Amino acid sequence: MTLSAPSAPDVLHGLTGLPFAKGHGTGNDFVLVADPAGERHLAEAEAAALCDRHQGIGADGLIRAIRSSELAEGAAVLAEEPAAEWFMDYRNADGSLSEMCGNGVRVFVAFLIDQGLVELAPGEVLPIGTRAGVKRVERRADGFAVDMGPWEFIDPRRAAADASDATVTAGGLDVARPGLSVSMGNPHTVVALAEPGELAALNLHAAPLVEPVPPHGTNVEFVVPSEPLVADGIGRITMRVHERGVGETQSCGTGACAAATAIRYWAGDAAPDRWDVAVPGGRVGVAFVPGTDGREHVELSGPAVIVAHGTLG
Ligand SMILES: N[C@@H](CCC[C@H](N)C(=O)O)C(=O)O
């Protein structure tokens, strides 16, 4: 006898009555569920069914809002920052867990406000628990800015020596290109392309091949520097991304941070600290700022929108 996995409609049937919201940050879209007391664990198959664009609600990821005190990973968060009451429990569209989502954490805070779970005036900061530690999110007039913490090379020895640590092959690229793997709490591999035509010609239906692939897989960003690279003191780049656990998306916040980090590193000492990153779904800002821990931190800014509320029926 062969057993097959339950279909998305079967899985969703088990979630009947679940209230949800739909939101996005520059087109990177999420299903959001409020579960303050941790009473509704959403398993991998349930996340994948909710995110299914044909038989579910459809999204790049699922975000559950849960109190940090109510899940195992929250203990480390509360030890780091006792005020981090809320935890962003994030899953990719295929149901896999990710450590961090830069667009998602802005939309998460917009959702907490929308649900009346927090109040946050412009200029105020809310610490949020994630699997990549505590992220401080400031409400701004036009969205949110997130202190993403320090960036790191995934393989510091190779990157420092070679300025690249991987080769990347993708549909539409004539030959493999050098890539640089950067951690923003989650893994990224950044590839610079020469001009917009190369970016437009990419076929990202299939995952790019990264060699060697970082230990936990990777998101891959293809980036074209603007001509000139710097205008009005701001570095300007255009990016497309293939996300681990999702596919091509309209935007990736941690990816934009990794892309600005790699291009700034390659550009050398004269490169600016502020970057404008154009993605298919809009634009986000990336800034390199001094952190309170004495290290350089990456700040991501951009919009967050809640577009709909519903109940699974
Ligand atoms: N779109 C997100 C990143 C989501 C997680 C990613 N797919 C991974 O698996 O690391 C962002 O805005 O950062």
Asked if the structure places residue 228 within a domain, the reply is yes
The protein residue with its alpha carbon nearest to ligand 1, atom 1, reads 252
Q: What would the mean pLDDT of 98-115 be, rounded to a whole number?
A: 98
* Confidence bin at 163 (pLDDT 50/70/90): confident
Tell whether residue 261 is among the known ligand binding residues.
Answer: no
pTM of the prediction? Answer: 0.96
Cα 3 to ligand 1 centre (Å)? 32
Residues 71 and 136 in one domain: yes
164 Cβ inside 6 Å of ligand 1: no
| Cβ of 102 less than 6 Å from ligand 1 | yes
**Does the annotation list 103 as a binding residue?**
yes
- 60 and 16 fall within a common domain: yes
Instruction: Give the range of the structural domain holding residue 237, as residue numbers without chain letter.
Output: 152-288
Q: Are residues 88 and 203 in the same domain?
A: no
List, for residues 220-273, the tens digit of each pLDDT value. 999 999 999 999 999 999 999 999 999 999 999 999 999 999 999 999 989 999
- The pLDDT value recorded for residue 4 is 66
pLDDT at 2: 53
Q: What is the mean pLDDT of residues 3-15?
A: 83
Whether residues 178 and 145 fall in one domain = no
pLDDT at 151 over 60: yes
More reliable by pLDDT, 55 or 164: 55
Instruction: Quickly state the pLDDT bin for 6 (edges 50, 70, 90).
Output: confident
What is the domain count for the chain?
2
Does 2 reside within a domain? no
User: Could you tell me what percent of the chain has a pLDDT over 70?
Assistant: 97
Say if 106 falls within a structural domain: yes
120 and 49 in a single domain? The answer is: yes
Question: Is 294 inside a domain boundary?
Answer: no
pLDDT recorded at residue 8? 82
Of 62, 146, 204, 252, best ligand 1 pocket probe by most atoms within 8 Å of the beta carbon: 252
158 and 136 co-located in one domain? no
My answer on whether 98 and 196 are in the same domain is no
92 annotated binding-site participant: yes
As a three-state string, the secondary structure of the chain is CCCCCCCHHHHHHCCCCCEEEEEEECCEEEEEEECCCCCCCCCHHHHHHHHCCCCCCCCCEEEEEEEHHHCCCHHHHHHHCCCCCEEEEEEECCCCECCCCHHHHHHHHHHHHHCCCCCCCCCCEEEEEECCEEEEEEEECCEEEEECCCCEECCHHHHHHHCCCEEEECECCCCCEEEEEEECCCEEEEEECCCHHHHHHCECCCCCEEECCCCCCCEEEEEEEEEEEEECCEEEEEEEEEECCCEEECCCHHHHHHHHHHHHHHHCCCCCCEEEEEECCEEEEEEEEECCCCCEEEEEEECCEEEEEEECC
Residue 99: give its domain's CATH number. Answer: 3.10.310.10
Has residue 296 been placed in a domain?
no
Residue 3 domain-assigned?
no
Q: What is the pLDDT of residues 37-48, one digit of tens each?
A: 999 999 999 999
Summarize the confidence of residues 160-179 as an average pLDDT. Answer: 91
In a domain, 145, yes or no: yes
Together in a domain, 175 and 85: no
Q: Please tell me whether residues 222 and 159 are part of one structural domain.
A: yes
C-alpha 2 – ligand 1 centre gap (Å): 34
What ipTM goes with this model? Answer: 0.99
* Mutation probe of ligand 1 site: the residue of 60, 135, 254, 261 with most atoms within 8 A of C-beta: 254
**Could you give the residue numbers annotated as active site?**
101, 252
The verdict on 66 and 127 lying in the same domain is: yes
Task: Identify whether residues 171 and 72 lie together within a single domain.
Answer: no
Question: Are 166 and 217 part of one and the same domain?
Answer: yes
What's the pLDDT at 110?
98
Q: What's the whole-number mean pLDDT along residues 208-212?
A: 97
Calculate the average pLDDT of the chain: 96
Residue 1 clears pLDDT 70, i.e. is over it: no
Residue 267 lies in a domain: yes
